[in-house]
Each structure stands twice: as C-alpha cells, then as structure tokens.
Amino acid sequence: EAQVTQNPRYLITVTGKKLTVTCSQNMNHEYMSWYRQDPGLGLRQIYYSMNVEVTDKGDVPEGYKVSRKEKRNFPLILESPSPNQTSLYFCASSLSMGYNEQFFGPGTRLTVL
C-alpha cells in the first residue's frame, strides 16, 4: 500500500530535550516536505527536500533541522524544543516538487512542556 508514515504519532516532551520525528514514504517520491498545522493558520511549510541530500527552508524553519540521506526517509529534528513548537506536524511527499498531488502522513501531535 502506497503511504507516508510518521513516528511517533503522539509525543509529550519537555523544553530542551532533543527529539526526532521520522517520516518514510514507499512511493519512490523525490519531493518530501514537513508542515506544521496550527489553529487558524492552516499548514505552514517548515522544510522541504527535492531529492537526496537536497534540502531547503520553508516558511517557518527556525528551531528545526532536517536531513535527506535516503530517498524514502526525511526526519525532522528539534535540537532544543520549546513550547512554541507545540503543534501538529505533517510529512508529505510527491513525485516531484511541481507535481499536483502531495501525499500526507497521518500527523504527529507534539506537546512541549
């Protein structure tokens, strides 16, 4: 089954404790992206990757890191999480950057205390 998976689905942590949210897709997609969803703000892009070893900042990259060492994986790293990073995070992928349809993962709800 073609899908985008994220782990964990739910995470509660404390300020400053490094964490990683994993994202994996099995569709051989070149393009992957991370978004955060906050009430009333829709989805805002954090980082994206057009291919292996190619990443770039989105609209709200501060406080986040990403890496793309393999085509299927695109982890999101929070080196020192803060309460303003409490949010719902979505990973997405598509065949290429300009391709019409992005496939979204189920989301990761992160709470930083």
Task: State how far the Cα of 20 lies from the Cα of 2, in Å rounded to an integer.
Answer: 23
Q: Is 1 in the site for other proteins (CB under 8 A)?
A: no
- Going by their DSSP bridges, the two strands 4-7 and 103-104 should be labelled as unpaired
Task: State how far the Cα of 109 lies from the Cα of 113, in Å rounded to an integer.
Answer: 13
Question: Looking at 45, 51, 67, 111, which residue binds other proteins (CB under 8 A)?
Answer: 45
Q: Is 71 in the site for other proteins (CB under 8 A)?
A: no
Size of the site for other proteins (CB under 8 A): 21
- Give me the least distance between CB of 84 and other proteins, in Å please: 18
Q: Is 4 in the site for other proteins (CB under 8 A)?
A: yes
Q: E strands of 8-107, at which residues?
A: 10-13, 19-25, 31-38, 42-51, 54-57, 65-66, 76-78, 87-94, 103-104
Nearer to other proteins, 42 or 69 (CB): 42
**Residues within the interface to other proteins (CB under 8 A):** 4, 35, 37, 40-45, 58, 90, 92, 97-98, 100-102, 104-107
